Structure 1
Amino acid sequence: MSLAALPLWAMVAALCGTAIVVLLLYLLRRTPRITPVSNVAFWLEAMQRARPRVLSSTKVPLISLLLTLLVALVLAGEIGSPRFGQGVRGTTVVVVAAGASMNAVSGGRLRIDRARDEARTWIERASGTGEVAVIRAGIRPTVLSPLGEDPQPDAILEGLTTDDGPADIEAAVGLADAIIAHRSGPGQILVIGDRAAEGQTRAPMALVPIGAIADSLGITRLTARRDPLAVGEYSVHVEVASFTSREGRARLLVRDRDVTIFDQPFRLTAGERQTFVAEGFSSQEGEVTASLEDIEIAGSEDALQTDDVAYAVAPALERTRVLLIGDDSPMLAAVLSAHSGVELSRAAALSESTPGNHDVLIFDGVDAPADLRHPGVLAFGAAAAGLTLGDRVDAPRITATLSGHEALGGVRLSSVRVEGARALAVEPSDQVLARAGEVALMAARERGGRRALVFGFRLDETDLGERVAFPLLIHHALRWLAAYKTDTVLPDAPGSIVRVPADTPVLDPAGEAAEAHAGLLFDTEGAGIYHVGERAIAVSGAETAAAIPAPLLVPGSTSLSRLPPLTTLLAMFLLLVFVLEWWLLNRGTLG
């Protein structure tokens, strides 16, 4: 038990003072003596004898004294506003958890709905003994009602919703502790949620637990990445997990916008994780949504729907800007024109176009300028990037290839026929990708952030252009020369800050306009696909999905009592005492 209105020493002093006053009143009350008289003279003498003396009354009704003393002490105790559990007088900061786990179902109701009811009750109780502030503990803490305002529970809690990421209870409690520290007098922090904050606070902290142990199946990872071996295609990786001690089953459904690209049922044992891979899907920019359907858990139910959906974006297909200079081989031009990831330009000579506007320069039978400094150069039968051509070799036979190099991507050239070539003058730091004995026929050079790939023969001197592997060779060569990366673009976590270019419209997952401030978008607490101009950004809580927390106390936290207010119980006790005193008085026991 604790006191919300007075410190303990003041309450003890008040009770002692009350007891002394009641005792003095009973000792000073008139207590006439019974004296037999026969006439008026004797009546006068009896009156004088019956006059009470200070602190000398001898006929004190003990039962009446005890009942009066009890009533007076209870009334004095009411002044201190006693209550069960932890509590102090003064400032109260109510912290309401609003993370994704508060969207779980417990006892047929959402945890957040129960939290609203509890918050409404405790705001009303706390506002009677001091100032009250309310903080929403979402991904980022938000003050719903500051100190100094008259708290209106219905207005404060009307728009209280959950985020699609974990609640930062510690940050919200830290903010509450700072608010109390800047106020004079004591205060308390009241956390309403499914877990207590870790760590210690200067102000007393109490927990109103919401929810119980619950079962769930959820998506814990969703990624979409481009396939480096298939132009324009991407693959999807989905991980699902069981957060229950029971067996569960569901159906995994993956969509790219409105098109279903994967649909497969699965079964999970207790605590098991499974990964599914779907490949071969083509899209300029995939907007992927994975969801769990038809969830069944043996002897239970899926309590949380937030982790049943995840989002990802397959990176937009990057087009490599290529400038083709020279003889314009028909096979080479056809392959480049058919490549969906190439933006092709042609020129008879380099002076006709600006090299800086292109990612890769291809010289077909035309030597590149010796002073050219370009990050990506491909040459067929021409000198480039310091790799010069030497003596001519007739009908060389390729005896070795470095097929593991990124520029070749596994393509083997050992069976390629070459009518004639010129030996490349290579240096020790260069990588020879194809050779005929000691003669280098194909070499790669990488220096100072610049890459070059040089063939010692023209395409009209070989059957390489007629082979089915030629388009794949050109694809890998361009990717290496343009330093194209295939890193997986992970979805952003809910609450992440998104950069927005100036004058660029932003749409949230519902298609509504979102407002950016100073080039930054902060309102990303909800999961889904956001659109910044033509760019799609996935915000997903899959990476933070975990078992649904059950409210457990940690050191430094106390659970508030679920009993009615102690003042109400004391008032009921006083009413009972008054009824008892009336009954004893009517029986003559108090005479």
Structure 2
Amino acid sequence: MNFLSPTAFLLFGLAAPIVALYILKLRRRREPVSTLLFWEQIFREKQTTSLFQKLKHLLSLLLQLLFLALLVLALARPQFAFMTKSARQIILIIDHSASMNVFDDTVSRLESAKQEALRMVDNLRFIDEMMVISCHTQPVIHSPFTNHQKSLRGAIESIVSTDVKTDLQPGLAVAYSVAQTKPNPEIVILSDFHQIPDTLLEQQESPDAQLSDMKVRLMSVNLGDEGNVGITQFRVRKSLVNAFDYQTLLTVINASVEEKSFNVELYLNDALLDVRPYTLAPGESKSELFTNFTMEGGRLKAMLDVEDALSTDNVAYAALPKREQIPVLLVTPDNPFLENALAIDEKLDLTVVTPDQYDPDAGGYNVTIFDRYNPPTLDDGNYMFIYPPKEGAVWQIGESLETPIITEWERDHPILRHVHLDNVQITEAYQVQVPATANVLVRSFEDPLLIVEENQNRRIVFIGIDTLKSDLPLRIAFPLIVANTIQWFQGESEIEEYHLQTGEVLKKRLDEAAAIESVTIVGPVGESWEIPVEKGELLFDETSVVGFYELKIGDREEVWAVNLTDVAESQIHAADRVADLLEEEEVVLGGSALLHYPPWIYLVLLAVLLSAVEWFLYQRRRID
């Protein structure tokens, strides 16, 4: 036995005044009386009970001393060795991932887990300690080791639901690291266990696994096999066939044990855009591609018109950036075919000038097309040359080719996608000396007719055919080549994607020259954050709820979409092997009832009981 407050034994010094008060004799007062006859009789009666009176006096003293001893021992806080050895250090991991939002009956799985955790706190012994950790993909320590029940209850109540997928492995890693510093640790996991961490499976299969020497107890709050339908993919990319359109891929899975029929509703800026009926067999998934969106972009939302156990995966979001028109400059003496091919494309902001009107210093154009003209200088940029004169050409031009025949073309190159050049009639072309850094896309036997060159700052497309002396402008291939070339200049399919999965970190590089010190972010439910920008980089990790996040960057706004879209998270039923790992509730909560409170509590109660006994004996005249 040892004592946590040994200085309390100094209070035993109070026994001295108590004893002194009991051994102190009263000084009797002398009084003359007329006779001793009556007093002698009383004196003889008192002598017969003197021994009993002394015993009563001594018993009262002993009770007072015992009362003092109990109080001093309580203040000294005794601790027994067997208590220290049986003390547990419980590391409680509460899963608050998206699947814990499933409602079993009228209570969510997360609320069931928190109620179970609170009951564990109520059953803690005074010698036990508990640490509270929440986890979805990232662990958060809500309370370090303590046996202060109010703090533990507050930590458990502070755990909120999220829309993040499940990965308890990081939480287990933190718990295992902390447990190494404790003599008698136990790891308790409260989850629905629709996924089992790899570490637990290894523990079951191998005695040498990481947690094999650790008490790990699993308590499930998964009460049923509720059916669920969910969106598992909702991604946006630039269209492969239209530089100003988007392609949105939607995938839906039926994770139920029965067939499900429902509608998929697509909204753009809260306006209904499309409705499609779905009927999925158990375990079946279906993917569809949506196209033909407005150039203005906006907020795209997909919803499943179905009632199921998990509503989080019934909605998905996508941000469609606004597509600006491409400024294009056409320098030509006169080419109605080329002008018409460019003018009908509403994606282009076309400017047409003659060679005499061309200003080499005029900027602001993404693409410049030179038709039968060579500029005096050529800066970095995107340029298309169509049969330029031999003198001053960007590349060396050789002899003329009369009635060349197109013999081969690179059908897989983006510029020639969906282009057919069979039997094209060409009256005049010329030979071109191709630089080593260029690629030939169209040939007439060994002679190149369409060449591309690409480096870090400049792209060139060179057509060595006189289009005015050919039937190529009369074919559908001609406007396709022009449109594909402009699209290739803009980039084939890459766009900056403004979407994340819940729990991912939003990372964005900002122009340091703009000197933006902070960015305001408004979340889906109206919460707001002021995030500092450090070294031109924005980092934001509060993406635990699905929906749109508005970024206010200087004087402009940007919208990001955050979705769950996880196949495993939509499978809300318990994993197949979890039953073999679960522990009975009593095993976790069990413990001696006598150790529920520290010994000093019992000592105080015993002192109070002793005081009551003394009062009773005094009232019955059994003690003085």
TM-score (normalised: structure 2): 0.66
In structure 2, relative to structure 1, the CA distance for the partners of 1:436 and 1:166 (3 Å cut) is closer
- The CA distance in 2 between the partners of 1:146 and 1:523, in whole Å, is 23
CA contact (8 A) 2:94 2:133 kept: yes
Match of 2:132 in 1: 134
In structure 2, relative to structure 1, the CA distance for the partners of 1:444 and 1:178 (3 Å cut) is closer
From 543, 550, 560, give the equivalent of 2:585: 560
* Structure with the higher fraction of residues in helix conformation: 2
Give the drift of 1:377. 2.1
- Are 1:362 and 2:369 an aligned pair? yes
From 496, 503, 507, give the equivalent of 2:504: 496
**What does 1:96-111 correspond to in 2, within 5 Å?**
96-111=94-109
User: Aligned AA for 2:385?
Assistant: A
CA contact (8 A) 2:408 2:444 kept: no
Give the drift of 1:218. 1.5
Give the drift of 1:365. 2.4
CA contact (8 A) 2:414 2:492 kept: no
Please give the per-residue CA displacement for 1:430-462, whole angstroms capped at 9, x wherever unaligned. Answer: 554455676544333446775321123455555
- The CA distance in 1 between the partners of 2:408 and 2:352, in whole Å, is 30
SS in 2 for 1:351: coil
Structure 1 residue ranges without an equivalent (≥5) = 6-77, 296-301, 572-591
From 220, 224, 233, give the equivalent of 2:245: 233
- Matched residues, number: 481
State which drifts further: 444-453 or 532-541: 444-453
Please give the per-residue CA displacement for 1:199-226, whole angstroms capped at 9, x wherever unaligned. Answer: 2436422222111342222122122233
SS in 1 for 2:178: helix
From 267, 291, 294, give the equivalent of 1:282: 294
In structure 2, relative to structure 1, the CA distance for the partners of 1:462 and 1:563 (3 Å cut) is closer
From 481, 484, 489, give the equivalent of 2:489: 481
- The CA distance in 1 between the partners of 2:125 and 2:166, in whole Å, is 26
From 558, 562, 566, give the equivalent of 1:543: 566
**What does 1:172-251 correspond to in 2, within 5 Å?**
172-183=171-182, 185-195=183-193, 197-199=197-199, 200-201=210-211, 203-214=214-225, 215-251=227-263
User: Aligned AA for 1:524?
Assistant: T
From 502, 510, 524, give the equivalent of 1:509: 524
Please give the per-residue CA displacement for 1:406-427, whole angstroms capped at 9, x wherever unaligned. Answer: 2132233456665654443446
- The CA distance in 2 between the partners of 1:378 and 1:258, in whole Å, is 41
Give the drift of 1:379. 0.6
CA contact (8 A) 1:553 1:559 kept: no
Match of 2:277 in 1: 265
CA contact (8 A) 1:378 1:454 kept: yes
Match of 2:548 in 1: 529
- The CA distance in 2 between the partners of 1:497 and 1:225, in whole Å, is 20
SS in 2 for 1:230: coil
- Are 1:353 and 2:362 an aligned pair? yes
- Report % sequence identity: 22
- The CA distance in 2 between the partners of 1:318 and 1:554, in whole Å, is 56
CA contact (8 A) 2:90 2:129 kept: yes
- Are 1:409 and 2:430 an aligned pair? no
CA contact (8 A) 1:88 1:188 kept: no
User: Aligned AA for 1:454?
Assistant: F
**What does 1:291-440 correspond to in 2, within 5 Å?**
291-295=303-307, 302-314=308-320, 316-317=322-323, 320-325=326-331, 327=333, 329=335, 332-333=338-339, 335-336=341-342, 339-343=345-349, 348-349=357-358, 351-353=360-362, 358-368=365-375, 372=378, 374=380, 376-382=382-388, 386-392=394-400, 396=403, 398-400=405-407, 402=409, 404=411, 405-414=413-422, 420-426=428-434, 431-434=439-442, 440=448
- The CA distance in 2 between the partners of 1:325 and 1:125, in whole Å, is 85
SS in 1 for 2:134: strand
User: Aligned AA for 1:212?
Assistant: L
Give the drift of 1:79. 11
CA contact (8 A) 1:254 1:260 kept: yes
In structure 2, relative to structure 1, the CA distance for the partners of 1:504 and 1:468 (3 Å cut) is farther
- The CA distance in 1 between the partners of 2:344 and 2:566, in whole Å, is 39
CA contact (8 A) 1:403 1:410 kept: no
CA contact (8 A) 2:409 2:443 kept: no
- Are 1:256 and 2:265 an aligned pair? no
User: Aligned AA for 1:542?
Assistant: T
User: Aligned AA for 1:402?
Assistant: W
- The CA distance in 1 between the partners of 2:591 and 2:453, in whole Å, is 83
- The CA distance in 2 between the partners of 1:207 and 1:228, in whole Å, is 49
Give the drift of 1:388. 3.2
SS in 2 for 1:561: helix
In structure 2, relative to structure 1, the CA distance for the partners of 1:276 and 1:440 (3 Å cut) is closer
- The CA distance in 2 between the partners of 1:338 and 1:127, in whole Å, is 80
- The CA distance in 1 between the partners of 2:164 and 2:381, in whole Å, is 42
CA contact (8 A) 1:329 1:459 kept: no
Give the drift of 1:523. 0.1
- The CA distance in 1 between the partners of 2:588 and 2:442, in whole Å, is 84
In structure 2, relative to structure 1, the CA distance for the partners of 1:275 and 1:511 (3 Å cut) is same
- The CA distance in 2 between the partners of 1:93 and 1:423, in whole Å, is 78
User: Aligned AA for 1:451?
Assistant: R
State which drifts further: 150-159 or 242-251: 150-159
Match of 1:444 in 2: 452
CA contact (8 A) 1:496 1:524 kept: yes
- The CA distance in 1 between the partners of 2:89 and 2:396, in whole Å, is 82
Match of 2:607 in 1: none
- The CA distance in 2 between the partners of 1:417 and 1:149, in whole Å, is 90
Runs of 4+ with deviation above 6 angstroms:
78-82, 554-557
Root-mean-square deviation (Å): 3.9
- The CA distance in 1 between the partners of 2:564 and 2:420, in whole Å, is 44
- The CA distance in 2 between the partners of 1:464 and 1:149, in whole Å, is 85
**What does 1:159-174 correspond to in 2, within 5 Å?**
159-174=158-173
Structure 2 residue ranges without an equivalent (≥5) = 2-79, 200-209, 511-515, 597-624
Match of 1:93 in 2: 91
In structure 2, relative to structure 1, the CA distance for the partners of 1:318 and 1:389 (3 Å cut) is farther
Give the drift of 1:491. 3.8
CA contact (8 A) 2:240 2:492 kept: no
- The CA distance in 1 between the partners of 2:579 and 2:384, in whole Å, is 65
